[in-house]
């Protein structure tokens, strides 16, 4: 086999990182890879990466994933999350009363986490994911892995078989927002707590060339650290950046969409975020094609 033929048969893995709404950029990345006939052998996903990656592993069509998630974020069940209260308004001229209302909504949502396990109840989560495909991971047309975190042991847990919906919910269960998922005789939460960009998971599943999509919040964005919540958020961003940097060292190609300028709750900016994924993937294409001999 020639070197060119060897490259063309290389098993390509995609590691889709966590980052809340910023991870909608994964859709744009998958659109570009699909359009350019980049053969995907395996997808690993953390949090929003598991949501997008799981859907893509079912549909193998990025536009179908996009259509599904547009309906998902516009559903009545999703609106109960009240994410707008946590999303900084891009306008600098926000009125006093609007600012007061957003703060009140945010505080009410946070108050629920002091009294209960999360902002959403288990029945609300069930309603939120009611239309998610009922599939088993091992039966999917693509090799897929969802990353979760064991709340009891603190260890990263990789789900490669069993119920896809349950795996995606477990991987996406942001602490305090969605309740932990009880499975495998333990409690699982968001995979981003232990592995923000699952590069080594893709390697472990047989990928020979790993494309990592990093949607970790940019530390270059200037923020007003005017209250405790903003300081906690900044500290979490630094922690996430350091964790993802260690994981990204194992990737062959890193795609960083400009969606990193948005917050984890910026769902209302879905079109711009998806576009940022497309633009970043286009920039990475020459490197990917050269590595694959295309």
Task: Catalogue the active-site residues.
Answer: 47, 190
Closest-CA residue to 148 (of 201, 213, 210): 201
Distances from the Cα of 68 to the Cαs of 54, 57, 62, 65, 133, in angstroms? Answer: 12, 13, 10, 5, 10
**122: which residues sit within 8 A by CB, 6+ positions away?**
179
3-state secondary structure of 293: coil
Using CA atoms, how far apart are residues 40 and 256, in angstroms rounded to an integer?
19
State phi, psi for 118 to the nearest 5 degrees: -165, 170
Closest-CA residue to 191 (of 30, 43, 19, 22): 19
Neighbours of 174 (CB within 10 A): 19
Determine contact, residues 169/183, Cβ cutoff 8 Å.
no
Determine contact, residues 234/251, Cβ cutoff 8 Å.
no
Could you tell me the sign of the dihedral formed by the alpha carbons of 69, 19, 39, 205, in that order?
negative
């Amino acid at each position: 086999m020639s070197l060119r033929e060897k490259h063309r048969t290389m098993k390509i893995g995609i590691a889709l990182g966590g980052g809340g709404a910023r991870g909608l950029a994964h859709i744009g990345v998958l659109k570009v890879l699909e359009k350019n006939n980049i053969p995907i052998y395996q997808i690993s996903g953390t949090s929003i990466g598991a949501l997008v990656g799981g859907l893509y592993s079912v549909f193998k069509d990025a536009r179908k994933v996009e259509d599904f998630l547009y309906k998902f974020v516009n559903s009545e069940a999703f609106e109960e999350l009240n994410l707008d209260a946590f999303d900084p308004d891009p306008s600098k001229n926000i009125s006093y009363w609007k600012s007061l209302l957003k703060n009140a909504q945010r505080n009410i949502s946070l108050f629920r986490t002091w009294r209960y396990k999360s902002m959403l109840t288990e029945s609300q989560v069930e309603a939120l994911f009611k239309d998610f495909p009922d599939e088993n991971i091992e039966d999917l047309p693509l090799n897929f892995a969802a990353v979760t975190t064991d709340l009891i042991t603190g260890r990263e847990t990789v789900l490669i078989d069993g119920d896809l919906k349950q795996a995606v919910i477990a991987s996406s269960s942001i602490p305090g927002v969605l309740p932990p998922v009880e499975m495998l005789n333990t409690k699982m939460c968001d995979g981003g707590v232990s592995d923000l960009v699952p590069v080594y998971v893709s390697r472990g599943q047989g990928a020979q060339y790993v494309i990592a999509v990093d949607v970790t919040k940019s530390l270059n964005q200037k923020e007003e650290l005017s209250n405790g919540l903003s300081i906690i958020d900044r500290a979490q961003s630094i922690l996430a950046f350091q964790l993802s940097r260690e994981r990204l060292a194992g990737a062959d190609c890193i795609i960083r969409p400009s969606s990193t300028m948005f917050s984890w709750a910026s769902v209302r900016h879905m079109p711009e975020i998806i576009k940022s994924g497309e633009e970043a993937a286009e920039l990475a294409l020459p490197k990917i094609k050269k590595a694959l001999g295309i």
